[in-house]
Amino acid sequence: MPTGSGIRPFWHHLLVRLATPPLEALAQGRLRATLPLADLPGAGLPDSFTPGLEILGRTLAGLAPWLELKDVPADEAASQSRLRQLGLAAIRNGLDPASPDRLNFTIGTQPLVDAAFLAHALLRAPQTLWTALDPTTQDRLVAALRSTRVIKPWPCNWLLFSAMVDAALLRFTGEADLAPVAHAVDQHEQWYKGDGAYGDGADFHWDYYNSYVIQPMLLDVLAVADAHTDRWRALLTGVRRRAERYALVQERLIAPDGSFPALGRSLTYRCGAFQHLAQLALQHALPEALPPAQVRGALTAVIRRTLTAPSTFDDAGWLRPGLCGHQAGLAESYISTGSLYLCTTAFLPLGLPAGDVFWQDPDVDWTGRRLWSGEDLPADQALKD
């Protein structure tokens, strides 16, 4: 596994490898023609082309903080500049009604999901992915996000998709419908199960949806809302405490070899299962007991384990379904090639400067490696609200 000065270049090169095929294809108007879908169940209807918005939103959701970063290392500058331009062109082309890759925001229910990931990307890179857009594309994007309001979310983590869309509209237009935000926040308060974990709806599921969606979106929706209203200010403190606890749990789930329990649905999102841990590292919000360098080591191990196995990519550079290599049997009915790119969210800390302690502090083994090497550590403690 890369160590020391080799870790950030390893992350950088792998993220560029992930992001380049989808953004190039969308920027050039050839995504529909080239995106491999045949062996996956969730390809979408030909007239709606759901995977277009899906792959754009998910790719940018993880890429955004690095695109927004000023003063990147010299060896990252050229690729960052190129992917910035490709990202803007992909958004512009996807919103052009004459484009063969025009994005679907209203047909079916899936567009609400992926509009939310795109909205999250905008919040993570406001200067790069919003301010740098031309006025026509900005207007089209606002209209597209508003159009998803016709889609009724399921009573589960989907409530946060509606909330995230309106949080982005609030951030960039100053106007939004706060009812979806209130509904999502109120329901998740009711669905909180204790010890840092929320139910996905009324029921608790053994899966990674607290990290794929619930905690990252809940935190960022509340942060946007907090800039406009004090309605949830008192609640935000408790939500952040729960988030810290869940980060501690996530770090302990990572085994010495970078594997983690293969539980629940959507395992083809690979290292995206640790978006929450990555986001807290990006936001300097990790609990005191979890040093950034320790999280760096843990995330690097997971990224390596899930994205460097043979057959992870096809010959054209697109991701293939699987958790460790190509495992098509793991793909549920809603999985398409676009779905797989939620793995980019494990790379959120690339949005931290190269001089940040996350990158500069000496290597520290993560909890799983320390315990299973025989080190004596304090016992884990549950969060008691």
- CATH number of the domain to which 33 belongs: 1.50.10
For residue 174 the two structure tokens come to: 């100053």
CA distance to 163, 167, 168, 327, per residue, from 217 (Å): 9, 10, 11, 28
In the block, tokens 């927004």 appear at 68
**Which stretches of the chain are assigned E, i.e. beta strand?**
192-194, 197-198
CB 221 within 8 Å of CB 232: no
Following DSSP, what letter does each residue of 213-226 receive, concatenated?
Answer: IIHHHHHHHHHHHH
CA distance to 116, 118, 143, 161, per residue, from 220 (Å): 12, 13, 22, 12
Burial (CB count <10 Å: 0-12, 13-18, 19+), residue 136: exposed
**Rounded CA separation 281/279 (Å):** 5
Specify if 326 maps to a domain.
Answer: yes
For helices 110-124 and 50-68, angle between their N-to-C axes, nearest 10 degrees:
10
Specify if 281 maps to a domain.
Answer: yes
Specify if 99 maps to a domain.
Answer: yes
Phi and psi torsions of 349, nearest 5°: -65, -10
pLDDT at residue 47, rounded to an integer: 47
Specify if 385 maps to a domain.
Answer: no
Across 215-248, b (16+ Cβ under 10 Å) vs e yields bbbbbbbbbbbeeeeeebeeebeebbebbbbbbb
Specify if 192 maps to a domain.
Answer: yes
Give the H or E element holding residue 79.
Answer: helix 74-94
pLDDT at residue 37, rounded to an integer: 81
Specify if 158 maps to a domain.
Answer: yes
* pTM, rounded to two decimals: 0.96
**Rounded CA separation 137/91 (Å):** 8
Nearest Cα neighbor of 64 from 82, 49, 48, 84 is 84
CB 241 within 8 Å of CB 197: no
- 3-state SS assignment for residue 243: helix
pLDDT at residue 4, rounded to an integer: 57
Across 198-213, b (16+ Cβ under 10 Å) vs e yields bbbbeeebeebbbbbb
Q: What is the pLDDT along the chain (385 residues), one digit of tens a residue?
A: 555 569 999 999 999 999 999 999 999 999 999 999 866 666 554 445 678 999 999 999 999 999 999 999 999 999 999 999 999 999 999 999 999 999 999 999 999 999 999 999 999 999 999 999 999 999 999 999 999 999 999 999 999 999 999 999 999 999 999 999 999 999 999 999 999 999 999 999 999 999 999 999 999 999 999 999 999 999 999 999 999 999 999 999 999 999 999 999 999 999 999 999 999 999 999 999 999 999 999 999 999 999 999 999 999 999 999 999 999 999 999 999 999 999 999 999 999 999 999 999 999 999 999 999 999 999 999 999 7
Give the H or E element holding residue 241.
Answer: helix 233-252
Phi and psi torsions of 37, nearest 5°: -135, -15
In the block, tokens 């953004």 appear at 23
What DSSP state is assigned to residue 256? Answer: T
For residue 84 the two structure tokens come to: 């910035």
Which residues form the domain of 216? 4-371
Q: Looking at the 3D structure of the chain, how many domains does it have? A: 1
End-to-end CA distance of the chain: 38
